[in-house]
Amino acid sequence: MNKAIIVGNLTRDPELRATGSGISVCSFTVAVNRRFKDQNGETQADFIPVVVWRQQGENCAKYLSKGSKVAVCGAIQVRSYDAQDGSKRYATEIVADEVQFLNSRGEGAAPQPRQERPAPKAPASMQFDDDLHPVEDDDLPF
Question: Which residue ranges make up the site for DNA (CB under 7 A)?
Answer: 8-11, 29, 31, 33, 43, 45, 47, 66-67, 69, 78, 80, 90, 107-111
Does 122 sit near its own copies (CB under 8 A)? no
Q: Which of the choices its own copies, DNA, none does residue 7 contact, using the CB cut-off of 5 to 8 A by kind? A: its own copies
Both ends of the chain: CA-CA distance in Å? 26
Q: Which stretch binds its own copies (CB under 8 A): 10-18, 20-28, 98-106, 117-125?
A: 98-106
Give yes or no for a contact between 49 and 27, defined as CB atoms under 8 angstroms apart: yes
CA separation for the pair 71, 7 (Å, rounded): 4
Burial (CB count within 10 angstroms: exposed 0-12, middle 13-18, buried 19+), residue 24: buried
- What are the φ and ψ backbone dihedral angles of 37, each rounded to 5 degrees? -80, 165
User: Which residues of the shown chain bind its own copies in the complex (CB under 8 A)?
Assistant: 1-8, 32, 34-39, 44, 46-48, 69, 71, 73, 75-78, 80, 85, 89-90, 92, 94, 98, 100, 102-103, 106-108, 132-136, 138
